[in-house]
Amino acid sequence: MRPFLSVLIVTYNAQPFIRECLQSVFQAGEKLRSEMALEWEAIVVDNASEDDTVACLRQFEGVKLIANGTNAGFAAGVNLGARQAVGEWLLLLNPDCVVDEKAFVTFAQFAQSDEANSVGIVGWQLLNPDGTLQPSGRRFPKAWEFALALLGFHRWMEGRRFSGRHFTQRQEVEEVSGAALAIRRRVFEQVGGMDEGFFLFFEELDLCQRVKAAGWRIVYLPEAKVRHYWGASVKGVPERARRAQRESALRYFRKHHGFGAFLLIWMAFGLQHLLRQLITVWKGRQQCY
């Protein structure tokens, strides 16, 4: 029987949290099988982890493990996993996520309803470890908004982008977080999968842009819940993550908003770097007194 859902997880030094993630996936998968008679599969692509992630993964029977010799980035990892997947839907899941036991069933009930006929992507509700809501499902960022966020106005900009959002209500949105994003397999193939030019960050925004442009709807589904340890997967490599964010942001705005937007973001990153240097010098002088 062909799986209804293929869970795709891309890991890099994820040993501290991948076990809990996969345990939750298996629990949710068993409920999907017992309550709806639907099959599922789990595919993990490891991007050359330097810790014990691969050893941990090999303890889970039933997981299709693809161990890369090099780290080609998140988007490339997703594409590699998707080529091995056979499910009707692909769930892109971060390794620092814990899936609610009822999430697969809840998602399947929605995905098989008439309401979902024109839906290409479904974003799941994200929760902080303490159970409080985590933002997901908003409109696409404008270049000037992102530039101001880089310069310290991120809280105001986030408020603008999430304006009118009710995180307990199902609704159509422009983009959702890639931490727990379900996409129809045929839609993923229709738009050409992930853009591997994005090493990390902005790849889900780019994917949502292309899915919307292809005529599909994107829906935020709060009934399907995931606990997300936000940022846990990049805490160990902050400088690399910062560099990846810069490169991906420049690529995204150049690709979807043109050279003017690219130039604005490039200047904002430059000014951000200058401000950080000035603050560092000022703090150093303060310590001298």
| Beta strand residue intervals within 69-113, DSSP E | 89-93, 97-99
pLDDT digits over 198-221, tens only? 999 999 999 999 999 999 999 999
Report the C-alpha gap between 158 and 169 in whole angstroms: 19
Which one-letter DSSP state was computed for residue 175? B
Task: For the chain, list residues with pLDDT below 50.
Answer: none
Report the C-alpha gap between 141 and 276 in whole angstroms: 24
Q: What is the pLDDT of residue 287?
A: 64
Which one-letter DSSP state was computed for residue 51? S
Q: What is the pLDDT of residue 251?
A: 97
Report in angstroms the alpha-carbon separations of 193 from 25, 83, 148.
Answer: 23, 10, 30
Q: Is 239 exposed, middle or buried, given 0-12, 13-18 or 19+ CB atoms closer than 10 A?
A: exposed
Report in angstroms the alpha-carbon separations of 82 from 89, 147, 183, 250.
Answer: 10, 33, 11, 26
Q: What is the pLDDT of residue 234?
A: 55
Report the C-alpha gap between 252 and 206 in whole angstroms: 7
Q: What is the pLDDT of residue 181?
A: 98
* Amino acid making up residue 107: F
- On whether the CB atoms of residues 86 and 79 are closer than 8 A, the answer is no
Q: What is the pLDDT of residue 288?
A: 60
Q: What is the pLDDT of residue 173?
A: 94
pLDDT digits over 65-116, tens only? 999 999 999 999 999 999 999 999 999 999 999 999 999 999 999 999 999 9
Q: What is the pLDDT of residue 104?
A: 98
- Residue 78, SS3 per DSSP: helix
Task: Specify the CATH architecture of the domain 5-232.
Answer: Alpha-Beta Complex (3.90)
Q: Which two tokens stand for residue 66?
A: 């693809």
Report the C-alpha gap between 72 and 77 in whole angstroms: 7
CA 180 to chain CA mean position, Å: 6
Report the C-alpha gap between 226 and 98 in whole angstroms: 6
